[in-house]
Structure 1
Amino acid sequence: MKEREKLGSRLGFILISAGCAIGIGNVWKFPYMAGQGGGGAFVLFYLIFLALLGLPVMTMEFSVGRASQKSPVKAYYALEKPGQKWHIHGYVTLIGCYLLMMFYTTVTGWMLNYFYMTATGKFQGLDSEGVAGQFTDMLGKPVTMGFWMIVVVIAGVFICSRGLQNGLEKVTKVMMISLLIIMVILAVNSFTMDGAKEGLKFYLIPDFERMKEIGIITTITGAMNQAFFTLSLGIGAMAIFGSYIGKDHALLGESVNIAILDTFVAITSGLIIFPACFTFNV
């Protein structure tokens, strides 16, 4: 029987796990949710739920993976006692991952298309309505969206075919470190904008009166949902990564490392976006 491939380094594990958690939920959804939730108050409750709920659930998912050394579907079969039905959740996670990949391959295709349009000057001279119109136009072109989605799928299959260490780990190290550097540069750039002071005040200082106007329950539930969504909890992804954690590392410690990196990206996204929003009156 072929020995199961392992990750080459602890940094690789942290970056791959964080790479799963970090995504649209941080860079796009977190600032948008924070804006809807009244800024600083939303951020405060998000951090509270991340610590109280996110870390324990992530640690539990890691424990399922490490104890079983299998995929989520097979993990529950290996760990559950006779007569228990935990394996049903294994199939739920499989369905969830398929649905998530349908979503991510499509949206990543949009991003590649936007990169192409930006590089070729398609946005040059357009006002905000013109830029918004480009998105509507793209949604009306299924062939274009299908093409970019296929490019994403082919790239993903190629990387995975190279194996865990030579494919996924190598690519993730380069892309994750590049992402962190780019985000820090963009955040520093946002601090120099005219609306930086107002934007950062809205984003970082809790205003509970504004929270009341929006709805206390709405803000709190939104923050709680975001804490789960941002860490990719409940779909078995962290159980998969947990199967690669050695016995010499504490599961809670690994959860904290990933949550810190994930939160850094989310908070930095807000530092980039809110000064820009207040500068350009968006």
Structure 2
Amino acid sequence: MNKRESFSSRWGFICACIGSAVGMGNIWMFPTRVSLYGGGSFLIPYFLFVILIGSTGVIGEMSFGRAAKSGPIDAFGIACEKRGRRKSGEALGMIPVIGSLAMAIGYTVVMGWILKYAVGTFTGATLEPENVEAFGAKFGQMASAFGNNLWQIIALAACMLILMLGVGSGIEKANKVMMPIFFALFVILGIYVAFQPGASAGYHYIFRIDPKAFSDPATWIFALGQAFFSLSVAGNGTLIYGSYLSDEEDIPASAGRVAFFDTIAAILAALVIIPAMATTGAQLNQGGPGLLFIFLPNLIKTMPGGPVIAIIFFVAVLLAGMTSLINLYEAPIATVQEKLHLSRVPACGVIAVVGVIVSLVIQGIVSQWMDVLSVYICPLGAGLAGIMFFWVCGKKYVEAQVNLGREKDYRASFYTICKYVYVPVCFIVLILGIALGGIG
């Protein structure tokens, strides 16, 4: 049996986990949520939910993966083995793995868009449209069925090349380069925007507290959804990265750092986008792809030094998206390695073929594709992982795994909070998502 790959350093693991968490949700959704749900009044419940999920679910999935030294299928199977139901556990473990692959395929389409725009900032093509209607028409053409084949395939190929290099030489090294650059670029953008006339109105809005917002259930519901999906608890990516950890790693400390830097990334995005919109007097009420590919390019074009700002912005977005894409593809690749007994390169090849074919086919319906996954599969995968680790494995096992590598035992209330608060929260997210058409 081949020795399991592992991260070579604590910083490399943390960068990889930050990379998995920092993605489009931080950039095209978080600023919009802050704008729509009361600015600072949204931030307070968001911070509370980040602390809750970061100190429970993220730790749980990392610890579960390290304990099993495998992906979700074997981890779920191991959890159920003592009850004589390993096959049932493995079958349930397929849900987050398939979800991860499906999410990666949808994300591949988005990465094709981002890559095209990033390259276009250097050639001038990205800022070429004359007005917001022209930007919208350009994006609509690109986002139609088979509208962006070449760039999409290039984005997927770049991701797979990194994954083929392995955990230490590929995933870890790529994240150790891309994540610091991402943060540096957004800090540069933040400083630039701060000196633009009218930006102060954006800062005032971000940090103002409106007591009425606290009484609005939507503020709390969407803060929960934002925190839940931003921290990437879905029973796959965080779990599989945890499986590459050594027993010396202090998982609660690492989870805290991941939650902290993910939150910093989201705040940085808000500090760039909301004040930038404020400089033109525009309100940020449009999230998702429309913000990133229509409204922001139209805004950047009018700003001093717009072409340079566009380069910095879209390169930063490309880095954030690529690190998330790497994480999403890793769980299915690791599963193919484990179940088909393939080495990494052939396993990447198998998944790449599936990724290319399906991502090309779904280009015209990718929004609906991602909605189904975020509403149903992601919270279900997180809930199942939580049940397996906290309910099936039991308190003694959980505490032993979480405290492995720590000088001092983690807080005594951890298991109880995870079992009776975090796991139900996963299913609350599922129910609210179904009822409201998605909260992530």
- TM-score (normalizing by structure 2): 0.60
| Offset of residue 181 of structure 1 | 0.6
User: What residue in structure 2 maps to residue 198 of structure 1?
Assistant: 201
Q: Percent identity, please.
A: 32
Aligned partner letter, 1:182: L
For 2:234 and 2:165, how far apart are their aligned partners in 1? 28
The farther-off stretch of 31-40 and 269-278 is 31-40
- Distance in 2, matches of 1:44 and 1:229, equals 17
1:96-149 CA-partner distances (Å, limit 9, x unpaired): 101210121010100011123332223236223322222122223x44422222
Give per-residue Cα distances to partners, 1:204-247, cap 9 Å, x unaligned.
222123x27xx711111000011110011123211111112322
For the pair 1:135 / 2:136, whether they are aligned, the reply is no
Residues 157-202 of structure 1 deviation map (CA, whole Å, 9 limit, x = unaligned): 2111112222222221111111011011111111112222110111
What TM-score, normalized to structure 1? 0.93
Written as runs of structure 1 = structure 2, the 5 A alignment for 1:1-282 is 1-80=1-80, 81-83=82-84, 85-122=88-125, 123-124=127-128, 126-140=130-144, 142-209=145-212, 211=213, 216-282=216-282
Q: 1: CA distance between counterparts of 2:53 and 2:198?
A: 34
Native 8 Å contact 1:200 1:275 kept in 2: yes
| Ranges in structure 1 where 5+ consecutive residues have no aligned partner | none
In 1, the alpha carbon distance for the partners of 2:90 and 2:267 equals 36
- Specify the SS of the correspondent of 1:194: coil
User: 1:86 and 1:143 mapped to 2: Cα distance?
Assistant: 38
Counterparts of 1:241 and 1:164, CA distance in 2: 9
RMSD: 1.7
Q: Assess if the C-alpha contact under 8 Å between 2:189 and 2:272 holds in 1.
A: yes
Check whether the contact 2:129–2:135 (CA below 8 A) recurs between aligned residues. Answer: no
AA aligned to 2:24 is I
Question: Distance in 2 between the 1:201 and 1:18 partners?
Answer: 28
Residue correspondences, number: 278
Cα contact 2:6–2:246 (8 A) shared by 1:
no
Letter in 2 for 1:259: A
Query: Counterparts of 1:270 and 1:88 in 2: how far apart (Å)?
Result: 40
Kindly indicate whether the alpha-carbon contact (under 8 Å) linking 2:10 and 2:249 is maintained by their aligned counterparts in 1: no
Q: Distance in 2 between matches of 1:159 and 1:101?
A: 15
AA at the equivalent of 2:207? L
Residue 148 of structure 2 aligns to a residue whose secondary structure is helix
TM-superposed CA distance for 1:83, in Å, is 4.2
Spell out structure 1 runs of 4+ moving beyond 4 A. Answer: 83-86
* Cα distance, 1:280–1:133 mapped onto 2, change above 3 Å: farther
8 Å Cα contact 1:44/1:206 also seen in 2: no
